[in-house]
Structure 1
Amino acid sequence: MSDWTDRLPQAARNYVADRRLDEVECIVADIAGVARGKAMPASKFWRQDKFYLPNSIFLQTITGEWADNPSGAFTEPDMILTPDFTTATAAPWTADWTLQVIHDAHDQKGNPVPIAPRNVLKRVVELYRQKGWKPVVAPEMEFFLVARNTDPNQPIIPPMGRTGRRAAAKQAYSMSAVDEYGKVIDDIYDFAEAQGFEIDGILQEGGAGQVEINLNHGDPVALADEIFFFKRLIREAALRHDCFATFMAKPIEGEPGSAMHIHHSVVDLETGKNVFSDDHGRETEAFLHFIGGMQRHLPAAIALLAPYVNSYRRYVPDFAAPINLEWGRDNRTTGIRVPISGPEARRVENRLAGMDCNPYLGIAASLACGYLGLIEQESPRAECLGDAYMSQDELPYNLGDALDLFNESKPMRDVLGEEFAAVYEAVKRNEYKEFLQVISPWEREHLLLNV
């Protein structure tokens, strides 16, 4: 066992030091970003170098149904899953001593499974590498802490704070608002420390019980791994204190939605310099081309950045959500924002992604837009200097329209991989079809006796 634990990151080694490790969770992210895999005794894990799962896990919808396999026969061949020991991290909320390890997914010929979301992101990062570039991202995670909701027919409401009152809205950046559920935040910090994750900051957002966590910039795959782990970590911290954490894009009617803002920069592999700035600190053509690529290709990527019917409830005016493809410097009304920074940290922020997206696919799709702009040398429109909320709508209004745009975009499908694109579309068409069969309370209230 000592040889095996020597391969773990330091935080994981610290967690199991002088302890009897009980269990290892061997996991991959499915299309929704849900952890799938097997838990096994640690004594068994260190005696094997791989295990098997059917590739059909990537055809499962969020409701547990199965989409038709676009490639034809539904034979469910096994994938070979091998541990990526760099991802090993604690599961500090469990009753015993447990580690989680993300696994790489290959087919039986040793090729990366093209429909595995983590492999899709690796594919995009590799396209950058082939051009001599290294993409860097910094995600921001927004989510709501809400009262336990065990009846889906009942609306979601804010949690009870330590004062005995429900969490209040319109308290952005309020420290006292964060203190209302401080015990949950304390556990988030403790769990993150045990897992070796560094939080750049936690703040109160504009919604009732809405929190934002910022992560430091870094490698796209490593950051997507962290978000994948963080979602579970945050949910577990909330459950300890009799509330839920939700990453729905729009969980509470009348409140703002939750975004996953993604900051991007690109580094030249040879020089180590940010390609968005020249030697004199000025903006480069590459910087403008990256923005131009986002403006041109983001509509086709929305199906991955806003992957559920609920996601489009966030794209409404007057709720601090960017519903445009404008770009601007230090302008939070634009969908594409350039934050204040020095030349070495010049970056582009995509404010369109929802927190409900699969982090691997959301980051991959966002990077794909910028990559296409760099390759096509796409020039952006003129910078928006005013209120971009007043701009003309340019985004799809629902999941069906978004999937149509994704289907029609050969450049986006080529970058992400056609086999993945076909499977993703099949899964999402299935989910959308199932949703359209549900009769909502609004329909019963207004149509039952009036039409």
Structure 2
Amino acid sequence: MANDWTTGLPEAAQAYLENRRLDEVECIVADLPGIARGKAVPATKFARQDYFHLPDSIFYQTITGDWGEAAGAEGFIERDMILTPDMSTATAAPWTGDWTLQVIHDAYDRDRKPIHFAPRNVLKRVVQQYEKLGLKPVVAPEMEFFLIARNLDPRQEIEPMVGRSGRPAAARQAYSMTAVDEFGPVIDDIYDFAEAQGFEIDGITQEGGAGQLEINLRHGNPVKLADEVFYFKRLIREAALRHDCFATFMAKPIAAEPGSAMHIHHSIIDMETGKNAFSGPQGGETDMFYQFIGGLQEYMPAAIGVMAPYVNSYRRYVKDNAAPINLEWGRDNRTTGIRVPLSKPEARRVENRIAGMDCNPYLGIAVSLACGLLGIRNELRAKPQFRGDAYEGEPDFPDGLGAALDLFDEATELHDVLHPEFARVYSIVKRTEYAEFLQVISPWEREHLLMNV
């Protein structure tokens, strides 16, 4: 890499480094849970390297730090991968004590072929399949999360953070500006960090839970937006830590409060015309619009294990509690799992309300796009629009992680889109996590079974 490599950095990164000496570069890649793995290297060393190595075992690691036996026929030899920087992702790490950049890397094998179970590569593969059809997918994620009091003992229940008023954050205050003001110092740092990193926030609102916020991002390229969500999770955590609280992206951190989702808005651009493929010449809804929805309805039950990847994820799907319970679709209807927001024809889009904020953003977006792609390829037709309260309908989802993984393992069409090797590794790692969970005895079991059975 040339010594003048900083001149080609994104504008925000160049502005961050203006008249400053870059000290360090964090070379990172997202693992299956979405944790940033990698190495921090001096800037002078980064300038001299075109790639670095990490063992492929980082993609076999569970959320607890254990490993799934997913290495394949050669055994657990921890073969080195070649990780190459995508310099378009270079961005500041403004919370550090020195001048540091983060750069997301792509994972390849020794023959420079993509590692099929690397999450960013999975999403790139899905996007490429759209492009082969002359289509460009566009997404806009919404991120929900809780600001909570510091929790240092896992045995203690999670509590909302204390706001500027000195009182714990209040629940049931959706869209309240006063509630947002309670978190003002944290939100100020979130805005400052985002500006330093070159990210555009479309808006921040108070959600229905105590201390629950939502950040909306501008629509764009799926890989770029997944990169931003990946970066944002770290950014938000760092902003919270500056103010003696935690940020959590658990799907259901507090039993009596709503869960946190990553709603994904989808539209598709016809690459030949540059127009929204969901809208016809007269502004009506196209066959592709209904096919995309049909694909979500048909394949999403098997994809839930990716969009709801932990045992806690399934606690979010509670009737009448701000999360869908089925895959009905409706126009401007927030009780349905698939919502078509109010919009002009050129901005027509489909909102997938199923994914939890605990999912890996690359994989959550990839599997949602994959379901829609299969609907287009197979010319599926959406069920009739649901009118009324969709909570009155029947549930469509598996009721836990084990059942969800069973459905995922059977979904060979979905595997072909994502890549069969990803499906194999993902299933093994998630089943290892699930087995770990089943070894833990919960407080509920001790309270109700210890003396009564």
TM-score, length of structure 2 as denominator length: 0.99
Please list, as runs of the form range in 1=range in 2, the aligned pairs for 1:177-216 lying within 5 A after superposition: 177-216=179-218
Whole-angstrom distance in 1 between the partners of 2:291 and 2:50: 44
Q: 2:146 aligns with which of 140, 144, 147?
A: 144
**Secondary structure class of the residue paired with 2:4:** helix
**Secondary structure class of the residue paired with 1:296:** helix
The offset of 1:70, in angstroms, is: 5.4
User: What code does the residue aligned with 2:234 have?
Assistant: R
Whole-angstrom distance in 2 between the partners of 1:213 and 1:314: 19
Partner of 2:60: 59
The offset of 1:305, in angstroms, is: 0.4
Please list, as runs of the form range in 1=range in 2, the aligned pairs for 1:230-379 lying within 5 A after superposition: 230-379=232-381
Partner of 1:20: 21
The list of structure 1 runs, each at least 4 consecutive aligned residues, that deviate by more than 6 angstroms after superposition, is none
Partner of 2:421: 419
Matched, 1:119 2:116: no
Partner of 1:442: 444
User: What code does the residue aligned with 1:427 have?
Assistant: V
The offset of 1:136, in angstroms, is: 0.2
User: What code does the residue aligned with 1:336 have?
Assistant: I
User: What code does the residue aligned with 1:202 have?
Assistant: I
Corresponding residue pairs, total: 451
Partner of 2:94: 92
CA contact (8 A) 1:70 1:422 kept: no
The offset of 1:2, in angstroms, is: 5.9
**Secondary structure class of the residue paired with 1:46:** helix
CA contact (8 A) 2:57 2:71 kept: no
The offset of 1:369, in angstroms, is: 0.5
Whole-angstrom distance in 2 between the partners of 1:349 and 1:51: 38
Q: Runs of 5+ in structure 1 lacking a partner?
A: none
**Secondary structure class of the residue paired with 2:48:** coil
Partner of 2:7: 6
**Secondary structure class of the residue paired with 1:146:** strand
User: What code does the residue aligned with 1:75 have?
Assistant: I
Partner of 1:44: 45
The offset of 1:21, in angstroms, is: 0.6
The offset of 1:3, in angstroms, is: 1.8
CA contact (8 A) 2:326 2:395 kept: yes
Whole-angstrom distance in 2 between the partners of 1:387 and 1:70: 46
Whole-angstrom distance in 2 between the partners of 1:395 and 1:104: 33
Partner of 1:101: 103
**Secondary structure class of the residue paired with 2:44:** helix
The offset of 1:371, in angstroms, is: 0.3
**Secondary structure class of the residue paired with 1:143:** strand
Whole-angstrom distance in 2 between the partners of 1:256 and 1:427: 28
CA contact (8 A) 2:3 2:47 kept: no
**Cα distance change on mapping 1:403 and 1:70 into 2, 3 Å:** farther
CA contact (8 A) 2:60 2:71 kept: no
Partner of 1:71: 72
Whole-angstrom distance in 2 between the partners of 1:49 and 1:297: 40
Partner of 2:389: 387
Q: Runs of 5+ in structure 2 lacking a partner?
A: none
Whole-angstrom distance in 1 between the partners of 2:448 and 2:167: 33
User: What code does the residue aligned with 1:360 have?
Assistant: Y
User: What code does the residue aligned with 1:434 have?
Assistant: E
Whole-angstrom distance in 1 between the partners of 2:354 and 2:101: 33
**Secondary structure class of the residue paired with 1:267:** strand
CA contact (8 A) 1:207 1:256 kept: yes
> Sequence identity, in percent?
71
The offset of 1:6, in angstroms, is: 1.2
CA contact (8 A) 1:70 1:426 kept: no
Whole-angstrom distance in 2 between the partners of 1:142 and 1:381: 29
CA contact (8 A) 2:70 2:429 kept: no
Partner of 1:129: 131
**Secondary structure class of the residue paired with 2:292:** helix
The offset of 1:190, in angstroms, is: 0.2
CA contact (8 A) 2:205 2:214 kept: yes
TM-score, length of structure 1 as denominator length: 0.99
User: What code does the residue aligned with 1:319 have?
Assistant: N
User: What code does the residue aligned with 1:59 have?
Assistant: Y
Q: CA RMSD in A?
A: 0.7
Partner of 1:166: 168
Partner of 1:29: 30
CA contact (8 A) 2:278 2:285 kept: yes
**Secondary structure class of the residue paired with 2:262:** coil
Q: 2:156 aligns with which of 139, 154, 163?
A: 154
**Secondary structure class of the residue paired with 1:140:** strand
CA contact (8 A) 2:144 2:357 kept: yes
Whole-angstrom distance in 1 between the partners of 2:302 and 2:9: 39
Whole-angstrom distance in 2 between the partners of 1:68 and 1:410: 21
The offset of 1:318, in angstroms, is: 1.9
Whole-angstrom distance in 2 between the partners of 1:447 and 1:45: 57
Whole-angstrom distance in 2 between the partners of 1:2 and 1:24: 14
Whole-angstrom distance in 2 between the partners of 1:205 and 1:399: 26
CA contact (8 A) 1:307 1:357 kept: yes
